[in-house]
């Protein structure tokens, strides 16, 4: 019997980043957040909390949720000025 070795890192959870939970408490994925923020033009943390439930549990996902809001707001506003 030979022991197999691999250099591949062990992966946990979905490999598609859109399917990964940004908010573990409420199980809100990156894809769900992007869709909600973009479609409904949610540019405040309060709006995103209300519409998606993200960041309404332990609060640990605050930086990730806020970074996504900031990034999409900037991208959507840049798109408007073109």
Chain residues binding ligand FES by CB under 6 A are 23-26, 55, 57-61
Q: Which residues contact 42 (CB under 8 A, 6 or more apart)?
A: 36, 48, 51, 69
Q: Compare residues 1 and 19 and give the one whose CB is closer to ligand FES.
A: 19
Q: Which residues contact 68 (CB under 8 A, 6 or more apart)?
A: 22, 30, 33, 34, 37
Whether the Cβ atoms of residue 38 and residue 6 lie closer than 8 Å to each other: no
Give the nearest distance from C-beta 7 to ligand FES in angstroms: 31
d(CA 73, CA 2): 53
Give the nearest distance from C-beta 73 to ligand FES in angstroms: 20
Q: Compare residues 31 and 57 and give the one whose CB is closer to ligand FES.
A: 57
Give the nearest distance from C-beta 20 to ligand FES in angstroms: 12
Q: Compare residues 41 and 59 and give the one whose CB is closer to ligand FES.
A: 59
């Amino acid at each position: 019997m030979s022991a197999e070795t691999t250099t591949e890192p062990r992966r946990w959870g979905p490999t598609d980043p859109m399917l990964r939970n940004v908010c573990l408490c409420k199980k809100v994925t990156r894809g769900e957040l992007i869709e909600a923020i973009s479609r409904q033009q949610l540019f405040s943390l309060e709006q995103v909390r209300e519409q998606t439930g993200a960041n309404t549990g332990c609060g640990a996902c605050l930086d990730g949720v806020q970074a996504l809001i900031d990034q999409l707001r900037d991208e959507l506003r840049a798109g408007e000025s073109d």
